[in-house]
Amino acid sequence: MSRRSPGHRISRPDALRLFGAGALAVVCVLALHLARPQLYVRIENAVYDTLLRHAAVRPPDPAPVIIAIDDESLVRYGQWPWPRRYLAGLVAGLRAANATLVALDLVLPARDRTSPMSIQQNLLQDLGLRVPLDIPADYLDNDRVLSRELQRQPSVLGYKFLFEPLQYSGRLCQTHPFLPFLPVSEGLSFHTARDVICNLSSLTAAAVSSGFVNALPDADGVLRRVPMLIRHEESLYPNLMLATVMALRKNMPVGLGRDADGAFLTLGRQRVHVDGRSEMLLRFRGPQGTFHTISAVDIMEGQAPDLSGRLALIGATSTGLGDSHVTPPDRMFPGVEVHATILDNLLQGDILMRPVWAGGAEVVLTVCAGILTVAIMVFRGPASCLGWLLAAGVGLWLACWRLLAAHGYWVSPLPAELSLVLTAAGLSLFKYTLKERELLLRNVQLVQAQDAAILSLTALAETRDPETGGHIKRTREYIRILAEKLALNPRYSERLDQETIDLLYKSAPLHDIGKVGVRDHILLKPGSLDPAERREMHSHAVLGFETLDQAEQQAFSQSDSSFLAMAKQIAYAHHEKWDGTGYPQGLKGEEIPLGGRLMAVADVYDALVSRRVYKEPVPHARAVEIIIEGRGRHFDPDVVDAFMKSENLFKEIFERHRS
């Protein structure tokens, strides 16, 4: 196991802060997961759809076959709805093809107005015309023709529940309840219908069973689940395909129950798990066209293959009839294929479910993901963190995909993935803040180290000449005041920003560092210096420059280099004069670096008002006069003007730092 590098160590207080921030992020994710705002639900639904589309697809059960009222059928037999004798011919064709059971994804609530008998009655009522009909009695009523075929071929009819009452409703409907007085399992509720659009009673009586065709999409308009039972009045009624399976498996015991995964319907020995609203998640086998489909034209014209053992579902697939749904695998999924999917799931028994323990599992995964993220962020470096978090995120996604694909359990990876991402993002920002604070502290320590080095060198100079030591301390205060005043001049405002002023202040104490190389008998001589001694004294500017230049070349950082460059500039140029008569280079005017021009005024003022071994101090007022007299000759006029605006501050600084 790799050790953390020293750069990745985190102090105990900071580690505790990271754990606290991680805990807060996890709590926020859990609050979002439990509150379930609309946007969150839409994202979670999209995650479910993605996992479902990539789950291994089992081939559809061979029993369901769709008898499609498609575009070809409408072209051949005319617009919808067809006369009931056409539907009777369709059912008869399926009987001839040996279909085991026929389910109609159709609702036939009104009498067929195209029946010869109905047309005869309408002509008499509307126009007073009596039209004799030379038609056998068995074919006068299309509804009776269809009813007769439904009696011959075991069939299941569809009806539709309404959740708002119909104002014109009043007739009694004949339907087939699931079980009229079935005890309801604890924790299971049902959609409650207010009314129903049902088939003609003669048709219902001819069918072996019936079931509702309602399909209720989620809030985003995507159909992912269907109710298996709906409550109406005092009874529970089955979905059309549930009724079909019950009709297929005659005398099969049915009921409701509950186990560790949640509520379920029992169909013999089979358990069909449903959610708290008795809805079943659909395991789609593929997009539109997945199931074996035969055009109604082929059945009605006697071209059907043998359908022995097949369950025929009659329904519309023509786009113009509008019976289509948005589903995870397809944006245009015919309603009859939804019913085929339900029937397939019931027959194959590989039902998808949202188990009751899924919510608790998601909370545990979310907390564990948060703890893992915090631990990785605390104990690992950035590259290692990224690798671990990617592995955790992919592993979590694959685990939830495997649960759905292989075991049919829908456990959302979204809250745990959010916990990973948000906790990692929050802690990365927090660690960045800690690192920034650490760097700031190091910079402060570096500045303090620089100041300590400067003061040490100052102390070294002070051991040679106590007056020089005090002079060094005062001049850095002078140069700050001068720079701040000069910065008010528009010509210098950009050159003298706060960073430059701070550099001037820090580097000013080193302006006379070269005097360490001047011999004591010259440095401390009470009288005037002879020409040779004066040349050696003047050499301190060059000695200081060379010393600081070597230090700059060995600087570890850009900040060190900037500081030493400024100090070198001041040490080399502070004895230059505006008129070019100074030393060591004889620079003139603005050839002299600005730091040298500022130090020239500060240096001369302090030399004038200070006691030296070779002179007595002059009063502050006289020192001011001498500097004014040197304006434009010895000193930069702009710097002298800045001095005049701050000369009282110079006096205060001298008194405060008097040797």
43-61 residue pLDDT tens:
999 999 999 998 878 899 9
* Domain boundaries, given as residue ranges, for the chain: 28-54+356-427, 64-348, 464-657
The amino acid sitting at 452 is: A
Per-residue confidence (pLDDT) for residue 3, from 0 to 100:
44
97: exposed, middle or buried (Cβ count in 10 Å: 0-12, 13-18, 19+): buried
Mean pLDDT of 174-189: 67
The CATH code for residues 464-657 is: 1.10.3210.10
Using 50, 70 and 90 to split pLDDT, how confident is the model at 320? confident
Per-residue confidence (pLDDT) for residue 172, from 0 to 100:
63
Cα 402 off chain centre by: 24
Mean pLDDT of 627-651: 94
Per-residue confidence (pLDDT) for residue 519, from 0 to 100:
81
Mean pLDDT of 103-107: 96
350 phi and psi, to 5 degrees? -95, 65
Dist. CA 596–CA 656, nearest whole Å: 24
Least confident of 109-118, 556-565, 633-642: 556-565
Per-residue confidence (pLDDT) for residue 566, from 0 to 100:
87
pTM score, whole prediction: 0.69
Mean pLDDT of 19-43: 90
Cβ–Cβ < 8 Å for 369, 423: yes
Per-residue confidence (pLDDT) for residue 7, from 0 to 100:
44
Per-residue confidence (pLDDT) for residue 464, from 0 to 100:
57
Cβ–Cβ < 8 Å for 462, 476: no
Least confident of 363-367, 373-377, 408-412, 653-657: 373-377
Mean pLDDT of 555-577: 77
Mean pLDDT of 359-364: 95
Mean pLDDT of 615-622: 91
Mean pLDDT of 34-43: 94
Mean pLDDT of 182-197: 79
10: exposed, middle or buried (Cβ count in 10 Å: 0-12, 13-18, 19+): middle
pLDDT at 608 over 60: yes
Mean pLDDT of 523-545: 82
Using 50, 70 and 90 to split pLDDT, how confident is the model at 138? low
Per-residue confidence (pLDDT) for residue 243, from 0 to 100:
95
Cβ–Cβ < 8 Å for 354, 410: yes
The H or E element spanning position 429 is helix 414-464
Q: Return the exposure string of 594-625: e unless at least 16 CB atoms fall within 10 Å of the residue's CB, then b.
A: bbbbbbbbbbbbbbbbbeeeeeeeeebeebbe
Mean pLDDT of 630-644: 94
pLDDT at 27 over 80: yes
pLDDT at 373 over 90: no
